[in-house]
Structure 1
Amino acid sequence: MARLRHTIVLEPVSRRRVDDAVAVVHDIAEGLLAGGEGTLIAEDGRPVVEVTLTGGEHLRPGARYGFAASGPHLTELELLTWDRDRETGVRLDVTEPPHAVPRGGETSGALVSSVVRLRSAERPEHVEVTVDAALTRPDGRRRRLRWFTLHGGLDLARWWAAVGTDPATRATRAVPGAPALTVDVRHPILRAGVRAVPRADAADGRWRLDVEIMLRGRGLARPVAAVPLLVTRRVLHRAIGQALDRLADDWRVVLLPELDRDPEDFRRRLLDELCTGSVD
């Protein structure tokens, strides 16, 4: 088994901004009206060009939506639950059919199926994500050794308690050293577990996320995988550290500016994206 540790620095965002962003997304979805032939109409009267209703009743469990094609990928979403007080749940399927390659033959197809569940939109407390990904054969079956599953959970209540500035909140809700983010990945020959503990730096107010990653072989592959993991440990540590640092950069450059927006500006940008396919 290999155990790797790395700490990344994240610019902070307030809980109120995150809660507002979640509420805006739900408000926009609830403001959409179903028109003819699966067209969705936004609250300002514009037709939505990025998403169409392909089955079921809008915002009812079982409703299915198709997204504008991006290259060979096909993206479909099924609504599992929609209750702002309890849970929002969706399944997102992204498929890529086999396609010919320049020198003859064709590539494998691919399927990534993800389920996301949010416990409660009114006061977000927990996010759970499950991903099942595989390269597929012509008959749709996944190829041997070419698949993985992932299960992740983000305990938002624990996160806010750990990084909060109110000592009383930290004392009553934070569990020292307890991870707020957990991810478990399973592959035919390898398993990985990720545990991440957030904390706030008293000096600059930024968040430190202490990440621990455990890698081990599975079943009969465990002794076979042990030696490569040991030999490549230093390289793995450097590669994983660089990947985590890039995630921190993406948070700062891409996600944080959106979360920091005024809710009305955030709403306008999302509506423009849905109805025009672009934003200012």
Structure 2
Amino acid sequence: MARFAHTVTVAALDRGWFEEAADALVDLLDASREGPDGAVVLADGRAVDGLRLLKGRHLRPGARYGEVPAAPGTAATPTEAADGSARASGAGDSAAAPSSVVLRAWRPSHSVEMESLVVEDGLSLKVGLRLSGPRRPRAVELSLSGHQPGGGSLYRFSGRAKADLAAWWAAVDRLPSAPPAARAPVAGRAVHRLAKARLTLTPRPAEDGSWRIAVVLSVRGRWLLRPVGAVVLLFARGPLERGLREAAESAAAEWNTALAELTPLHGEALRAEIADALTDPDGAATL
């Protein structure tokens, strides 16, 4: 097994603001309704930008959402045509088109679940997302499976990841001198016929109030290919270490930039700003 690790420093996110923003977003969506041509309309009458209901009842299990269709006089893309046909005919979920999401559960006090099936460049990709405690997020779970039709087992892969937000907040609430959490709050696994990989994120507070996040990637070969994998990793170790470091630093830089642009609004001001971001993302100010 090969193990790669890198630590990045990121700005801390205020838990109270994050949970208030999540609650406001859920409230806005829970009060929304279906408008003309499948538009998703907020309580104030404004439509959510770039989103429409393609099939089913709004916020009910099985509802399918996708992008807004082309303007009148503009030829529809194959995706839009497929979406329109699915809505008109009530086709099953197996006919899912790219850029569409199926809502599996909408229970604001308990959980939200959704699923997407995308076929692009000959690759079929199924993604599932589950959010526990949407109003005060407790955990986020992601599942992923993909294959290339007719490509055999070498073209199949799967993965699962979970972010335990309660454990994350507990880890960053420790004293800077305390040891890091024994269990990583964020962990993900990917499986392929030839190899398995595991990625973990473990945060701890820094003296200046920022977060230090340890990123650890473990890779191992499977079955009889383990000796071969060991030889490959011997030559690929440098590029893998560099790739992990660059990816972690890039993600940290994007996170820090995003937080630096945030204006910590609260109450009705925060709710109004989120509504503006949903209906006019290009014109909305930073939260």
- Which TM class, normalised by the smaller chain length? 0.7 to 0.9
Q: 1:260 to 1:59 in 2, by over 3 A?
A: same
Measured after TM superposition, the shift of residue 162 of structure 1 is: 0.9
Q: Aligned letter for 2:160? A: H
Q: 1:192 to 1:208 in 2, by over 3 A?
A: same
Q: Distance in 1 between matches of 2:251 and 2:30?
A: 31
What is residue 219 of structure 1 aligned with on the other side?
223
User: Residues of 2 paired with 1:255 and 1:150: CA distance?
Assistant: 29
Q: Kindly tell me the number of residue pairs found equivalent between the two proteins.
A: 260
Is the aligned partner of 1:131 residue 2:155? Answer: no
Map residues 79-158 of structure 1 onto 2, 5 A cutoff. Answer: 79-96=103-120, 108-134=121-147, 136-137=148-149, 144-158=153-167
Give the aligned partner of residue 199 of structure 2: 194
- Unmatched runs of 5 consecutive residues or more in structure 1: 97-107
- Offset from partner CA, 1:234-259 (integer Å, 9 cap, x none): 33112211111111111112366458
Distance 1:232 1:221, change over 3 A: same
CA drift of 1:126 comes to 1.2
Deviates more, 1:40-49 or 1:256-265: 256-265
Structure 1 residues 188 and 163 mapped into 2: Cα distance closer, same or farther (>3 Å)? same
* TM, length-normalised to structure 1: 0.81
Q: Does residue 188 of structure 2 align to residue 183 of structure 1?
A: yes
Specify the alignment match of 2:86 in structure 1: none
Could you tell me how far apart the structure 1 residues matched to 2:270 and 2:78 are?
30
State the partner residue of 1:99. Answer: none
Cα 1:38–1:183 shift into 2, 3 Å:
same
- Give 1:102's aligned residue: none
* Residue 10 of structure 1: aligned partner: 10
Structure 1 residues 10 and 278: alpha-carbon distance in aligned structure 2, compared to 1, 3 A threshold: same
Residue of structure 1 equivalent to 2:42: 42
- CA 38–114 in structure 1, closer or farther in 2 if over 3 Å, else same: same
Whole-angstrom CA distance in 2 between matches of 1:114 and 1:231? 33
Residue 75 of structure 1, CA deviation: 0.8
CA distance in 1, matches of 2:191, 2:260: 30
CA distance in 1, matches of 2:281, 2:134: 25
Which stretches in structure 2 are left out of the alignment for 5+ residues?
Answer: 71-76, 80-97
Q: Secondary structure at the match of 1:239?
A: helix
Q: Percent identity?
A: 31
Q: 1:13, 1:260 within 8 Å by CA — same for their partners in 2?
A: no
Q: CA deviation at 1:274?
A: 3.9
Aligned equivalents of 1:14, 1:49: Cα separation in 2: 28
Distance 1:118 1:229 in 2: 36
CA contact (8 A) 2:221 2:229 kept: yes
The offset of 1:175, in angstroms, is 7.9
